[in-house]
Structure 1
Amino acid sequence: MGGIIWLASYPKSGNTWVRTFLHNLLTNAERPADLNELSKFTIGDGNKGWYETVSRKPFDSLSPEEVAALIPKVQEAYARSRPDSVFVKTHNFLGKILDVPLITPGFTAGAVYIVRNPLDVVISLSDHYGLPLDDGIGMLNDPDAYSAETDRKVQDYLGSWSDHVKSWETMEKSMCHTMRYEDMLFKPEKTFGGLAKFLGLNPPKQRLRRAIKFSSFGALQKQEKEKGFNERSDKTEKFFRVGKAGQWKTALNPEQIDRITTAHSHMMEKYGYMPKARKTDKL
């Protein structure tokens, strides 16, 4: 049995991009990996099918307490599903629900955490969940935020954007590799190369560059346009919407920017996301 390597992020921060890169890097195919086969390579945390398999009961018959108690057993099943380590995507914060850890330490081999400017996150988040921007900001700032249960998966426990980032920072640094979405965009070879190194891989440059190319935002958009994407929300037309940094400069008004920067100033400063104007205001 291997251990779980968590691919963790707040929603709409680049998790699927990282999963696609890893799929392309490890398979080393001559053509881009099929976007709709990611689940064969990376397990999605919270899929109800795993809970039904482990409990041998229909999911709808389980109480919230029973679902929480099953979390470590489900995660053991993840770990046992591969002879070596297994990648598992999660949007949960690193904490507990009903006194049960959402991330079971005993089955965890490590984690990759993807962080993105919350000013941009909220635009993609609002589109993904079909929310007005002001409601998306409310979700981003809510310490009790969660993404609702669907017919396929249990709800994700998020907390606020800052709480989410802070929670994953508590994992031992040697076990958790943090990546900024913006560095994936502007310094892809260095950033994805750093991820490969963290995972103990040393791919030739040609292989690394091909995996980056095959998982580029344009390549993912093209695939979604041609054959759809089975993880797209039914509240939006496209999963891969824009894939740029700095959209907030034209999409958010000053009051909306202020609501986000006020709520998350410490963490935004730490990751280089605080707008210069706001930095000046503090002086």
Structure 2
Amino acid sequence: MGNIVWMASYPKSGNTWVRAFLHNYIHDGDVPSDINQLNDFFANESNVSWYQPLSKEPLENLDRQAICRMRPLVQKRIASRRAGTSMVKTHNFLGAYEGLPLHDMSLTSGAIAIVRNPLDVVSSLADHFGLNLDEAVGFMGSDTTGTPTDENNVASVLASWSTHVDSWTRDTSGATCVLRYEDLLQKPLKHFGALTRFLGLPQDRGRLQRAIDHSNFATLKRLEEREGFVERSPNSQRFFRSGRQNQWRDLLTPHQVQQLVDDHRAMMARFDYIPPTYR
């Protein structure tokens, strides 16, 4: 067994929020942690800095298969930099690309899988990637979906929302902590508390409440406005938006809702995301 715990999610599903909570819980300060210092405790397996030393040519010139061939060495280096648990962010689905595994399971000890209603994901994803809503619906429904290499991250292999979520949440061994974004909003003490227990962190209710308060969306938005945020997409005016659930009711057309339900019905039903009128 390895020492990597994957922080896995489809893009715009709460990965950064959960990392901000854990950063605050581990740091346990009197003021919120610096959102631009998340890499103190978390690695990003797609960050270009891991890959640049392995290539003699610009990473933008490499195809996705070439990037995937580098991943095992990158992940080995990430795992070796800490003696204990290494928490590593990933947006790749849990599988392989053209026969090349996207995650080295021999280096893996567990995973945290964060799941959010795709009806709410789609508007945040559209803003992040510079898409219109119809394009974002199609993006989420395709098993060939990925993102290109840019100045910050190498190419990712996402697959569809359903394939991605299924790949990370089907484990029944107890090595994966599955968190619904909506549960974290509605009952933060219960579900963030479950996360700290999963990771074997010291248990302290006051510490838990402080970390929740220091990482709520109002606080994260204020910090971004004051300090900026290195993970903000150039397509967006801000990274942290409202963070609310059920925003889709004001943003999506009935046709767009129906298309998302048709594309993801089985997985949406599993996580209780299908609106009553679409069941």
TM-score, normalising length from structure 2?
A: 0.95
Letter in 2 for 1:83: A
Gapped regions of structure 1 (runs ≥ 5):
none
Q: In terms of mean alpha carbon deviation, does 7-16 or 169-178 score higher?
A: 169-178
CA deviation string 1:227-278 (max 9, x = no partner): 1101000001010011000000111111010000011111111101000111
Supply the distance in 1 between the matched residues of 2:16 and 2:57 (Cα, whole angstroms): 29
Supply the distance in 2 between the matched residues of 1:245 and 1:68 (Cα, whole angstroms): 34
Q: Provide the residue aligned with 2:142 in structure 1.
A: 142
Q: In terms of mean alpha carbon deviation, does 20-29 or 59-68 score higher?
A: 59-68
Q: Does 1:260 align with 2:248?
A: no
Number of aligned residue pairs: give it: 278
Q: Does 1:94 align with 2:94?
A: yes
Contact 2:2 2:108 in 1 (8 A): no
Aligned-pair distance for 1:56?
Answer: 6.2
Q: Percent identity?
A: 42
Supply the distance in 1 between the matched residues of 2:10 and 2:105 (Cα, whole angstroms): 20
Contact 1:126 1:133 in 2 (8 A): yes
Distance 1:194 1:253, change over 3 A: same
Map 1:11-22 to 2 at 5 A: 11-22=11-22
Supply the distance in 2 between the matched residues of 1:216 and 1:228 (Cα, whole angstroms): 16
Supply the distance in 1 between the matched residues of 2:147 and 2:58 (Cα, whole angstroms): 18
Q: Provide the residue aligned with 1:126 in structure 2.
A: 126
Distance 1:98 1:158, change over 3 A: same
Contact 2:76 2:107 in 1 (8 A): yes
Letter in 1 for 2:42: T
Q: Provide the residue aligned with 2:201 in structure 1.
A: 201
Map 1:39-50 to 2 at 5 A: 39-50=39-50
Q: Does 1:155 align with 2:163?
A: no
Q: Provide the residue aligned with 2:273 in structure 1.
A: 273
C-alpha RMSD of matched pairs (Å) = 1.6
Contact 1:261 1:274 in 2 (8 A): yes
Supply the distance in 1 between the matched residues of 2:65 and 2:260 (Cα, whole angstroms): 34
Could you list the structure 1 runs, at least 4 aligned residues long, displaced by more than 6 angstroms after superposition. none
Contact 1:183 1:191 in 2 (8 A): yes
Q: Does 1:184 align with 2:192?
A: no
Contact 1:44 1:88 in 2 (8 A): yes
Letter in 1 for 2:276: K
Aligned-pair distance for 1:2?
Answer: 6.1
SS of aligned partner of 1:106: helix
Q: Provide the residue aligned with 1:213 in structure 2.
A: 213
CA deviation string 1:187-208 (max 9, x = no partner): 0000100001111124210000
Aligned-pair distance for 1:148?
Answer: 2.2
Contact 1:48 1:59 in 2 (8 A): no
SS of aligned partner of 1:103: coil
Gapped regions of structure 2 (runs ≥ 5):
none
Contact 1:93 1:167 in 2 (8 A): yes
CA deviation string 1:44-89 (max 9, x = no partner): 1211211233x26454375644432221111010101111111111
Q: Provide the residue aligned with 1:225 in structure 2.
A: 225
CA deviation string 1:112-170 (max 9, x = no partner): 00000000000100011111100000101111111222112111111111010111124
Q: Provide the residue aligned with 2:35 in structure 1.
A: 35
Supply the distance in 2 between the matched residues of 1:43 and 1:202 (Cα, whole angstroms): 22
Q: Provide the residue aligned with 2:175 in structure 1.
A: 175
Letter in 2 for 1:249: R
Contact 1:94 1:168 in 2 (8 A): yes
TM-score, normalising length from structure 1?
A: 0.94
Contact 2:4 2:79 in 1 (8 A): yes
Contact 1:92 1:157 in 2 (8 A): yes
Distance 1:76 1:150, change over 3 A: same
